[in-house]
Structure 1
Amino acid sequence: MTVWDRPEPPTRPVPLDRERIVAAAVALADEGGLEAVSLRKVAARLDAGPMRLYGYISTKEELFDLMVDAVQAEILPEIPPRTGEEEQPADWREALRVLAHRTRHTVLRHEWLADLLGGRPTLGPNGLAVAEATLSALDGLADVDTVMRAVETVAAYYTGAIRREVANLRAERATGLSEHEWQRASGPHLTRMLATGRFPALTRAVHDATHIDPETTFTTGLAWVLDAVAAKLPPPPGGSPS
């Protein structure tokens, strides 16, 4: 039985429910990461005894599942819904693009979510709704196996890209150096290494590549992935793939 299937116990003496417990856990994680979350700390924030929480949540893993599902609600609002039982979304690319960008923005608000992306999907209502919105964007455009591979490919891209962006943000905080400051500090060593002539491709990249901001990088890469997915979808009747 999953945590979503178990009934909640009575709320006496301190009013409690899973929603309040999860909100407190999310607040702790937003402040200090997943390492700041424990049932004891959540209970302290709610002025409740730690043992009371076990009536609502059995393990920390269940608490993490509930936290992920809670913040997944932030991904949902702008995903274009299907408007009828037999209708397809006007633009499947836009549906997946919105999903990817809203996932990125949600993770940037809740950085701890990056540590839990890409694992087994949660089975809560918001997680299932995100999965439904994602699959329905492509439903009927190809066979179900092609749809699944397309969705997995897009998710693999944005999961990796988001995790890398968060890792860079954490490195900046840990070192106290912005990316530009870190590059300047590392410059003498890198210059010596490039001068050996052993890294010609890297040398060209360092000297000639255009620096772009994380959002532009994310948007460009996502567009390339969606182009690749479009090339694998059957063309619509009388036209080319969207």
Structure 2
Amino acid sequence: MLVWERPEPPDRPVPAPLSRERIVRAAVALADANGLEAVSLRKVASALGVGPMRLYGYIDTKEELLDLMVDAVHAEIRPSGDDWREVLRSLAETTRQAAHRHEWLADLIGGRPQLGPNTLAGGEAVLAAMAGVALDVVVPAVAAVHAYVIGAVRREITERRAERATGMDKRQWQAAFGPYLRRAFATGRYPALASVVHDGPHPDADETFRTGLDFLLDGIAARISG
């Protein structure tokens, strides 16, 4: 029986009240503060002021705990809108926002299928919005949006982590590596790259995400209307 269906043990208020929800909230708080490496059943138990063995009545393994954490964050991902395009855009943007609030999510999304109730509710909302569209379009369209968001979010979070690790923001990085790129472009071997760097647009992360999402949604719209 999966953790979503398994009943919790009877409440024991001494030495501390416990529930699956409290365990997950404590684990999410630890991960938000210090990353997934800060999450273990022992550390979560310590944060709750109980012994580690008490957690095993609620959760069998750390993998179950991670699944519960991901589903808890999916409560923040609520696709909404009046048509399929608005709903898919909402799915993408709220997923990105959740990942920026919980950076560790970028390490877990895109792995094995998530089956928790919050995740299923989000999937139901998306598919309901696409009712009437042929399933051979719906399935790859939703998968494409998920893939786009996962890739974009992981890139953004990786860049944020790199800034923290190196102490260099984007402007400082450009100042440090700009001379090397100018020397490389001066050789004449990279004319296309040089043109983009010198003359191309340089949107920020928000604009980059939304523009790429528009390209994807335009493609889906063309397939639906075709």
Q: Shared topology, TM-score over 0.5?
A: yes
Does residue 1:97 correspond to 2:92, yes or no?
A: no
**2:195 counterpart SS class:** helix
User: Taking every aligned residue pair, what percent have the same amino acid on both sides?
Assistant: 62
CA distance in 2, matches of 1:145, 1:69: 27
Runs of 4+ in 1 over 3 A off after TM superposition: none
CA distance in 1, matches of 2:128, 2:223: 17
CA distance in 1, matches of 2:4, 2:97: 26
Post-superposition offset of 1:234? 3.9
CA distance in 1, matches of 2:71, 2:39: 16
CA distance in 1, matches of 2:114, 2:148: 19
Q: Calculate the TM-score normalised by the size of structure 2.
A: 0.95
Q: Calculate the TM-score normalised by the size of structure 1.
A: 0.89
Gaps of 5+ in 2: none
8 Å CA contact 2:100, 2:157 repeated in 1: yes
**1:3 counterpart SS class:** coil
Which of 52, 55, 75 is 1:53 aligned to? 55
Q: Counterpart of 2:194?
A: 203
CA distance in 2, matches of 1:134, 1:195: 50
**2:104 counterpart SS class:** helix
Determine which structure has the larger helix proportion and give its number.
2
8 Å CA contact 2:84, 2:126 repeated in 1: no
Counterpart residue type for residue 9 of structure 1: P
Q: Counterpart of 2:155?
A: 164
Which of 128, 134, 148 is 2:139 aligned to? 148
**Mapping for residues 4-153 of structure 1, pairs under 5 Å:** 4-12=4-12, 13=14, 14-76=16-78, 79-80=80-81, 90-142=82-134, 144-153=135-144
CA distance in 2, matches of 1:131, 1:70: 15
8 Å CA contact 2:83, 2:130 repeated in 1: no
Per-residue CA deviation, residues 48-79 of structure 1 (Å, 9 max, x unaligned), is: 00111111111111101000000111111x61
Gaps of 5+ in 1: 81-89, 236-242
8 Å CA contact 1:34, 1:112 repeated in 2: yes
CA distance in 1, matches of 2:116, 2:33: 24
Per-residue CA deviation, residues 145-175 of structure 1 (Å, 9 max, x unaligned), is: 2210111111111111111111111111111
Post-superposition offset of 1:10? 2.4
Counterpart residue type for residue 127 of structure 2: L
Deviates more, 1:18-27 or 1:90-99: 90-99
**1:111 counterpart SS class:** coil
Counterpart residue type for residue 216 of structure 1: E
Post-superposition offset of 1:120? 2.1
**2:140 counterpart SS class:** helix
